Structure 1
Amino acid sequence: MTDQAVDNSGAATVTATATAAGSAAGSAHDWGSGEFLGRKRELKELRADIERTGLDTLTGRKVPRARVLLVAGRPGSGRTALAEELARSLADDYPGGALRARLTAPGGERVPTEETARGLLDDLGIAAPAGADADTLSEMVREALAVRRVLLVLDDAADAEQVDPLLPDNPDCLVVATAQGPLTGIPDVRPCTLGGLDTASAVALLAHYTGKVRITVDPTAADALAEECGGQPAALVLVGGWLSNRPKSSVADVTKHLRELPDDPEQPQGTGPLARALRLVYESLPQPAARILRLLALAPAGLADAHTASALAGCSVSAAQTTLDDFAVQGLLHPVDGSVPQYLVPGCLAPLLLALTEAQDRPAERQLARARMLERTVRQLQSCRAVTDPEGSPARKKLAGLPRALRFTSPAAAAVWLRERQPALLAAARAAVGDGELDTLARRLVAALVRALAAHRGTEAAAPELYGLHRLVLDVAERRNLHREKAAALLNLADLDAQTGRTTEALTRYRAALDAGRTAGDPYATARAMESVGGTYQEMGDFSRASDWYGRALALRLTRGEDEDGARLYGRLGAVHTYAGRYGEALRDWRAAASGLRRLGDLPGHARALSEMARVQEYAGRPEESLRTCQEAVEWARQAGEVRLQAALGLRLADTLDRLGDPTAARLHRGAAERLMEEEVPAYEIRSASARG
Structure 2
Amino acid sequence: MTDQAVDTDGATAGGAVPSPARASLESTRAQFVGRRRELKELRADVDRAGLDTLSGRKAPRARVLLVAGRPGSGRTALAEELVRQLADDYPDGVLRAHLTDPDGTPVPTERTARGLLDALAVPAPPGAAEDDLAETLRAALADRRALLLLDDAADAGQVDALLPDTPDCLVVAVAEGPLTGIPDVRPCTLGGLDKEAAVELLARAAGPVRITVDPGSAESLVEVCAAHPATLVLAGGWLAVRPKAAVADLAKRVRALPEEGSALARVFGHTYASLPSPAARILRLLCLAPAGHIDPHTASALAGCSVSGAKTTLDDFVELGLVRAVPSSLPQYEVPGCLVPLLRARTESQDKPGEIQLARARMLERTVRLLQSCRAVTEPEDATARGKIAGLPPALRFPSRQAAAEWLSVRQPALLAAARLAVADGELDTLARRLMAALTRALVAHRGTEAAAPELYGIHQLVLGVAERRNLPREQAAALLNLADLDAQTGRTRDALARYRAALDAGRAANDPYATGRAMESVGGAYQELGDWSRASDWFGRALAHRLARDERVDAARLYGRIGTVHTYAGRYGEALRNWSSAVTGHRRNGDVTAQARALSEMARVQEYAGRPEESLRTCQEAVEWARQAEDVRLQAALQLRLADTLERLGDPAAARLHRSAAERMLGEELPQVARLERNGGAEPSAYEIRSASAED
Shorter-chain TM band: over 0.9
- For residue 479 of structure 2, what is the aligned residue in structure 1? 489
Report which stretch shifted further, 37-46 or 313-322: 37-46
Provide the C-alpha distance between the structure 2 equivalents of 1:84 and 1:211, rounded to a whole number of angstroms: 24
Q: Which of residues 422, 433, 439 in structure 2 aligns to 1:449?
A: 439
The residue that corresponds to 1:46 in the other structure is: 42
Q: 2:277 aligns with which of 264, 278, 287?
A: 287
Report the CA distance between 1:259 and its aligned residue. Answer: 1.7
Aligned partner of 2:536 in structure 1 is 546
Residue 325 of structure 2 corresponds to residue 332 of structure 1 = no
Q: Any unmatched runs of 5+ in structure 1? A: 11-20, 265-270
Q: Once the two structures are superposed, what CA deviation does each residue of 1:169-191 show, in whole Å capped at 9, x if it has no partner?
A: 11111111111100000011111
Distance 1:5 1:399, change over 3 A: farther
Amino acid at match of 1:132: A
Partner Cα distance (1:689, 1:49) in 2 = 57
CA distance in 1, matches of 2:50, 2:641: 69
Match of 1:519 among 495, 504, 509: 509
Map of 1:218 onto structure 2: 214
Aligned counterparts, 1:117-132, within 5 A: 117-132=113-128
Residue in structure 2 matching 1:408, options 372, 382, 398? 398
Q: Does 1:84 align with 2:80?
A: yes
Equivalent residue of 1:348, what SS?
helix
Alpha-carbon distance between aligned partners in 2 of 1:97 and 1:106, rounded to the nearest angstrom: 27
Secondary structure class of the residue paired with 1:349: helix
SS in 1 for 2:338: coil
Q: Is this contact kept in 2: 1:307–1:376, CA < 8 A?
A: yes
Pairing of 1:600-679 with structure 2 (within 5 A):
600-675=590-665, 677-679=666-668
2:522 maps to amino acid: S
Counterparts of 2:125 and 2:631, CA distance in 1: 41
CA distance in 2, matches of 1:690, 1:256: 77
Equivalent of residue 525 in structure 2, options 532, 535, 549: 535
- Measure the CA separation in 1 of the matches of 2:372 and 2:79: 40
For 1:174-215, what per-residue CA distance to the aligned partner results, in whole angstroms no more than 9, with x for missing partners? Answer: 111111100000011111110000111111111112222211
Residue of structure 2 equivalent to 1:133: 129
Query: In structure 2, how many angstroms separate the alpha carbons of the residues matched to 1:253 and 1:50?
Result: 45
State the Cα distance separating 1:688 from its structure 2 match.
Answer: 4.5
In the alignment, the residues of structure 1 paired with residue 527 and residue 685 of structure 2 have an alpha-carbon distance, to the nearest angstrom, of 13
Unpaired segments ≥5 residues, structure 2? 688-697
Contact 1:22 1:102 in 2 (8 A): yes
Residue in structure 1 matched with residue 7 of structure 2 by the alignment: 7
* Counterpart for residue 258 of structure 1: 254
Residues 375-386 of structure 1 mapped to structure 2, 5 A cutoff: 375-386=365-376
Amino acid in the other structure paired with 2:9: S
Q: Quick one: which amino acid aligns to residue 30 of structure 1?
A: A
**What secondary structure sits across from 2:245 in the alignment?**
coil
CA distance in 2, matches of 1:678, 1:503: 35
Mapping for residues 100-119 of structure 1, pairs under 5 Å = 100-119=96-115
CA shift digits 1:128-174 (9 cap, x unpaired): 11011211111111111111111111111111011001111111111
Secondary structure at 2:30's aligned position in 1?
coil
1:55 corresponds in structure 2 to 51
Task: Find the aligned partners of 2:484 and 2:31 in 1 and give their Cα distance.
Answer: 53
Which of 237, 261, 271 is residue 233 of structure 2 equivalent to? 237
Q: 2:62 aligns with which of 63, 66, 81?
A: 66
Q: 1:23 to 1:496 in 2, by over 3 A?
A: same
Aligned to 1:188, what secondary structure does the other structure show?
coil
Superposition CA RMSD, Å: 1.7
Within 5 Å, give how 1:462-611 maps onto structure 2.
462-611=452-601
3-state DSSP class of the match of 2:378?
Answer: coil
Whether 2:23 is the aligned partner of 1:30: answer: yes
CA distance in 1, matches of 2:185, 2:3: 33
Give per-residue Cα distances to partners, 1:40-85, cap 9 Å, x unaligned.
1111111111222211122222211111111110000000000111
Report the AA paired with residue 256 of structure 1: K
TM-score, normalised to structure 1's length? 0.95
Within 2, Cα distance between the matches of 1:628 and 1:588?
A: 17
Q: Does 1:426 align with 2:426?
A: no
**Taking structure 1 as reference, are residues 653 and 530 closer, same or farther at Cα in structure 2, changes over 3 Å only?**
same
Contact persistence 1:99–1:151 (CA under 8 A): yes
Q: What is the identity, as a one-letter code, of the residue corresponding to 2:53?
A: T
Deviation at 1:678, TM superposition (A): 4.5
Do the aligned residues in 2 keep the contact of 1:303 with 1:342 (CA within 8 Å)?
A: yes
Q: State the Cα distance separating 1:691 from its structure 2 match.
A: 6.4
Displacement of 1:355 in angstroms is 0.5
CA shift in 2, pair 1:533/1:691, >3 Å: farther
Distance in 1 (CA, whole Å) between partners of 2:182 and 2:636 is 66
Please state how far the C-alpha of 1:644 moved relative to its aligned partner. Answer: 3.7
Q: CA deviation at 1:559?
A: 0.5
Structure 1 residue 673: deviation in Å?
Answer: 4.2
Shift of 1:3: 13
- Measured after TM superposition, the shift of residue 121 of structure 1 is 0.6
Shift of 1:219: 1.7
CA distance in 2, matches of 1:132, 1:663: 51
DSSP 3-state at the match of 2:100: coil
Amino acid across the alignment from 1:201: A
* Aligned counterparts of 2:45 and 2:658: Cα–Cα separation in 1: 80
Paired residues of 2:294 and 2:332 also in contact (CA < 8 A): yes
1:95 matched to 2:91? The reply is yes
In the TM superposition, residue 456 of structure 1 has moved relative to its aligned partner by 0.7
Cα distance change, pair 393–128 in 1 and its aligned pair in 2 (3 A): same
Mean Cα deviation higher: 679-688 or 175-184: 679-688
C-alpha displacement at 1:465, in angstroms?
Answer: 0.5
Distance 1:603 1:3 in 2: 72
Match of 1:391 in 2: 381
Aligned residues: 675
For 2:226 and 2:210, locate their aligned partners in 1 and report how far apart those are by CA, in whole Å.
Answer: 20
Alpha carbons 1:571, 1:690 under 8 Å: kept: no
Q: Which amino acid aligns with 2:163?
A: L
Whether the 8 Å contact between 1:26 and 1:111 is mirrored in structure 2 is: no
State how far apart, in whole Å, the 2-side matches of 1:534 and 1:692 are: 14
- Mapping for residues 144-163 of structure 1, pairs under 5 Å: 144-163=140-159
Amino acid at match of 2:615: E
Alpha-carbon distance, 1:670 to partner: 3.7
| Matched residue SS, 1:611 | helix
Q: Residues 407-463 of structure 1: CA distance to partner in whole angstroms, max 9, x if unpaired? A: 001010000100000010000000000000000000000000000001111111111
| Percentage identity across paired residues of the two chains | 72
Corresponding letter in the other structure for 1:375: E
2:164 to 162, 168, 179: 168
Deviates more, 1:602-611 or 1:472-481: 602-611
Q: Secondary structure at the match of 2:116?
A: helix
